[in-house]
Amino acid sequence: MALSFRRRKSLSPRVVFPNRILPYLLVAPQLAITAVFFYWPASQALYQSALREDPFGLSSKFVWFDNFVRVLSDPNYVNSVQVTAVFSLATALVAMAVALLLAVMADKVIRGRGIYRTLMIWPYAVAPAIAGMLWLFLFNPSIGTLAYGLRWLGIAWNPLLDGGDAMVLVVAAAAWKQISYNFLFFVAGLQAIPKTLIEAAAIDGAGETKRFWTIIFPLLAPTTFFLLVINTTYAFFDTFGIIHAVTGGGPGKATETLVYKVYNDGFVNLILGDSAAQSVILMAIVIALTAFQFRFVERKVHYG
Amino acid sequence: MKIQYVATGIAATFTLLSTSSAFAVTEISWWHAMTGANNEVVETLSKEFNESQSEYKIVPVFKGTYPEALNAGIAAFRAKQPPHILQVFDVGTGVMMAAEGAVKPVAEILSMGGSTFDKSQYLPGIVAYYSKPDGTMLSFPYNSSSPILYYNKDIFQKAGLDVDNPPKTWPEVWEAAKKIKTSGAASCGYTSTWLTWIHTENFAAWNNLQYGTQENGLAGTDVELKINSPVFVKHFQELADLAKDGTFKYGGRTSEAKQVFLSGECGILTESSGGLGDIVKSGMNYGIGQLPYEPTAEGAPQNTIPGGASLWVFGGKSDEEYKGVAAFFQFLSQTEIQARLHQVSGYLPVTMAAYEETKKSGFYEKNPGRETPIQQMMGKEPTENSKGVRLVNLPQVRDIQNEEYEKMLAGEQTAQQALDNAVSRGNAAIQQAIGN
């Protein structure tokens, strides 16, 4: 099969395929995957969100937007929105700040650089649920090693009953797992910064802190922005396993994020309509968030 | 080319032959949620049944935790490929019962197996819980348990408490717990698994208090919760007060507190009789007592209600398959099997004969306390308050209760507020679930 294409005479960089069908054939597998794994379930969720059904699907009633009205007027849902905001912000901030600090430190190391970096990347390979269990064991008020230390320091540590403690625990576990990923990108970003700029600043008499904030940090902006998007979506969607393993949304509803609530209402409480309505809202939030980030935040990012 | 065709033909014939010979054995799928020692029991039982005859083959499949197994079953039903048998935990009973048309009553299946179904063979308290209001038994009780009190004899000794007389009432438990804490015998006096099942549902039945209207949901689905009556409030306020200085320690919503007891942190535990296996395994010097009752409640102690799980059979299968299911249930009901299950696992025997057999064998004399959960359940004829709790959305109502209890134990609200909230939120959820 000979693949031939020619450039237009106008020297436009666009590639033109003479064959009309072949391009469609080439993208067909990707389209099929998107259709089966995204559009189809998404449309099912949309349909389900307008139904009121018993768990077994034996009787169902079309109720238009009733489920949305109920979900949005539920104070527990509002609570869940707040919890998600706090959790996502804290997780993204902690994960990125710590990763940046470590990356800057690792950049300075000359001997054994490779070993440090490899070790730093390891936690990324740990599954969320396992990461959750690790932190749970460390901080379990009865048997946790670190919980024992906290108690010894006189801190009343009880994530089983104290909502704040529980939040700290899930944020720590979620951030810890994401630090490695962020670290990797920050290291790469740091390496891309021309040494001459930093040296010039050093000759001009700028101290280390000054150099970081005026040269390195602004030049890292594209990486930081990219990671901000990735970390927010991570905190939104990929932390279910951690919350499920560590707190189960409790105590009270202190760590029930939007995603956890979708699961809890749908799979534990078996209220399928409410659960579907929540996932539709979640879908809208994510689309809006991503669009916002790319349209408004990205413009202000300086790509060197 | 030709040789290839012939080869394919032969291969196809072989496949046909081998599948048709497999058709002679009817496969029965059994989805369950048993882990550890209890999973081994499931595997052994299936193997024994498969070896005992050649017509049917039970295929057990582990499907995760109780809620996960229930969900897997529901999803499979919606996809029109349900298993034959699904193990559903006690709280899922209302969910399954509401699904008329999806399930086939066990009473019907057992009579399809040839033998007539005799309800009197089974333990009445358990059968009543898994039956429709008209008395038709809907699911097969597989593992039933009841909450009891466990105590650490070494800690009792250290605290100067009577090692042979565990506390019988809640005030006695509080006294003992305080003594354990103040004497320094352990850092916490009392802990409990499942505040919903033990301190709410069983607390109501054991003290003959109303949990909800409509006989706690057994007579109808339109239930109004009644768990904020004065005796409940008194009990939960006492728990909350003891939680302040750590005399009572909260472990979590399900059976996490068992670890706190096993590690020797707390001296007294209330837990399911099904949790016995782990306590025996730990090698602790333990004792068993009745579930404590509230002396101010009239008619207490009444009787406790069963927990655990039962086996449900999905509809829409062939008669041949149902006969296989019936044969398996007959096999499970055998006295020998039931007696062994009961003695190994701490779950209750399902048939009267197995209970009598275990009694005769002298098992209870050798293992004091093991008869306690049965006596608790069978001691008195059940009243309207003590036949069980059945709500179409009991998992959700328990969730609400847990949330309110946690806020109470964290000192954010009083017992009265917690129970009032649990009632109003619970009632709203029930109304939504039944479609009002």
Query: Distance between CA A194 and CA A199 in Å, rounded?
Result: 9
Mutate: best of B196, B401, B432, partner A, most A CBs <10 A? B432
pLDDT for residue B16? 44
Judge whether A214 is closer than 8 Å to chain B, CB to CB.
no
Strands (E), A47-145: 51-53, 60-62
Residues B5-64 pLDDT 10s: 544 444 444 444 444 444 568 999 999 998 877 888 899 999 999 999 999 999 999 998
Query: pLDDT band at residue B83, thresholds of 50, 70 and 90?
Result: very high
| pTM of this structure | 0.83
Of chain A residues 63-82, which have a CB less than 8 A from chain B? 70
Judge whether A123 is closer than 8 Å to chain B, CB to CB.
no
Q: B250 contacts in A (CB within 8 Å)?
A: 160-161
Judge whether A161 is closer than 8 Å to chain B, CB to CB.
yes
Residues A158-202 pLDDT 10s: 888 888 999 999 999 999 989 989 998 998 899 889 989 889 998
Mutate: best of A76, A142, A268, partner B, most B CBs <10 A? A142
Mutate: best of B66, B195, B314, B396, partner A, most A CBs <10 A? B396
Place of tokens 């109003």: B424
pLDDT for residue A303? 55
Pairwise CB contact (< 8 Å): B396 & A142: no
pLDDT for residue B23? 52
Question: How far off is chain A from B146, nearest CA to CA, in Å?
Answer: 23
The nearest alpha carbon in chain A to B394 belongs to A269
A244-254 average pLDDT score: 86
Q: A264 contacts in B (CB within 8 Å)?
A: 399
Q: Which fold has domain A74-300?
A: MetI-like fold (1.10.3720)
pLDDT for residue A8? 44
Question: How far off is chain A from B44, nearest CA to CA, in Å?
Answer: 30
Whether the per-residue pLDDT at A280 is higher than 60: the answer is yes
B184-209 average pLDDT score: 95
pLDDT for residue B349? 87
Pairwise CB contact (< 8 Å): B395 & A268: yes
Q: B432 contacts in A (CB within 8 Å)?
A: 70, 271
Count of CB atoms within 10 A of residue A118's CB?
9
- How many contacts does A have with B, using Cβ atoms within 8 A? 73
Whether the per-residue pLDDT at A229 is higher than 90: the answer is no
The nearest alpha carbon in chain A to B249 belongs to A142
**Three-state SS at A130:** helix
pLDDT for residue A13? 59
Pairwise CB contact (< 8 Å): B406 & A270: no
Pairwise CB contact (< 8 Å): B71 & A142: no
Query: pLDDT band at residue B85, thresholds of 50, 70 and 90?
Result: very high
The nearest alpha carbon in chain A to B404 belongs to A252
Interface list for chain B against chain A, based on CB atoms closer than 8 Å: 67, 71, 74, 77-78, 95, 98-102, 249-253, 259-260, 263, 265, 393, 395-396, 399, 402-404, 406-407, 409-410, 412, 429, 432-433, 435
pLDDT for residue B113? 73
Residues A77-119 pLDDT 10s: 999 999 999 999 999 999 999 999 999 888 887 788 788 878 8
Question: How far off is chain A from B129, nearest CA to CA, in Å?
Answer: 21
Q: B74 contacts in A (CB within 8 Å)?
A: 55-56, 270
Query: Distance between CA B171 and CA B151 in Å, rounded?
Result: 16
pLDDT for residue B269? 97
The nearest alpha carbon in chain B to A254 belongs to B403
Cα–Cα separations (whole angstroms), residue A28 to A1, A19, A39, A52: 18, 15, 15, 36
Whether the per-residue pLDDT at A293 is higher than 80: the answer is no
Pairwise CB contact (< 8 Å): B396 & A162: no
The nearest alpha carbon in chain A to B405 belongs to A252
Residues B316-346 pLDDT 10s: 889 899 999 999 998 998 888 888 888 877 7
Query: pLDDT band at residue B128, thresholds of 50, 70 and 90?
Result: confident
Query: Distance between CA A268 and CA B398 in Å, rounded?
Result: 11
Whether the per-residue pLDDT at A294 is higher than 80: the answer is no
Give the nearest partner residue to B78 out of A56, A162, A267, using CB atoms.
Answer: A56
Whether the per-residue pLDDT at B347 is higher than 70: the answer is yes
Count of CB atoms within 10 A of residue A185's CB?
19
Query: pLDDT band at residue A297, thresholds of 50, 70 and 90?
Result: low
Whether the per-residue pLDDT at B247 is higher than 90: the answer is yes
Sorted by sequence, the CB contacts under 8 Å of residue B178 that are 6+ apart come out as: B189, B242, B247
Question: How far off is chain A from B293, nearest CA to CA, in Å?
Answer: 26
Give the nearest partner residue to A162 out of B259, B410, B429, using CB atoms.
Answer: B410
- Are A79 and A264 in contact by the 8 Å Cβ rule? The answer is no
Apex B24 CA angle, B22 and B27, nearest 5 = 70
Q: A145 contacts in B (CB within 8 Å)?
A: none
Whether the per-residue pLDDT at B71 is higher than 70: the answer is yes
pLDDT for residue A206? 86
pLDDT for residue B17? 43
- Are A273 and B428 in contact by the 8 Å Cβ rule? The answer is no
pLDDT for residue A7? 44
More confident residue, B173 or B9: B173
Pairwise CB contact (< 8 Å): B77 & A56: yes
Q: SS3 helix, strand, coil % of chain A, rounded to 5?
A: 70, 5, 25
Q: B102 contacts in A (CB within 8 Å)?
A: 56, 58
What domains are there in chain B, each with its CATH number? 28-145+307-361 (3.40.190.10), 147-304+366-433 (3.40.190.10)
User: What's the sign of the alpha-carbon dihedral A291, A292, A294, A299?
Assistant: positive
3-class secondary structure per residue, chain B = CHHHHHHHHHHHHHHHHHHHHHCCCEEEEEEECCCHHHHHHHHHHHHHHHHHCCCEEEEEEECCCHHHHHHHHHHHHHCCCCCCEEEEEHHHHHHHHHCECCEECHHHHHHHCCCCCCHHHECHHHHHHCECCCCCECCEEEEEECEEEEEEHHHHHHCCCCCCCCCCEHHHHHHHHHHHHHHCCCCEEEEECCHHHHHHHHHHHHCCCCCEHHHHCCCCCCCCECCCCHHHHHHHHHHHHHHHCCCEEECCCCCCHHHHHHCCCEEEEEEEHHHHHHHHHCCCCEEEECCCECCCCCCCCCCCCCEEEEEEEECCCCHHHHHHHHHHHHHHHCHHHHHHHHHHHCCECCEHHHHHHHHHCCHHHHCCCCCHHHHHHHCCCCCCCCCCCCCCCHHHHHHHHHHHHHHHHCCCCCHHHHHHHHHHHHHHHHHHHCCC
Report chain B's terminal Cα–Cα distance, integer Å.
69
The nearest alpha carbon in chain A to B65 belongs to A268
Would you give the DSSP letter of residue A73? T
Pairwise CB contact (< 8 Å): A268 & B67: yes
Whether the per-residue pLDDT at B379 is higher than 50: the answer is yes
The nearest alpha carbon in chain B to A249 belongs to B403
pLDDT for residue A3? 43
Query: pLDDT band at residue A301, thresholds of 50, 70 and 90?
Result: low
Judge whether A244 is closer than 8 Å to chain B, CB to CB.
no
B110-121 average pLDDT score: 77
Count of CB atoms within 10 A of residue A107's CB?
17
B340-355 average pLDDT score: 84
B93-101 average pLDDT score: 85
Count of CB atoms within 10 A of residue B112's CB?
15
B74-100 average pLDDT score: 90
Question: How far off is chain B from A214, nearest CA to CA, in Å?
Answer: 47
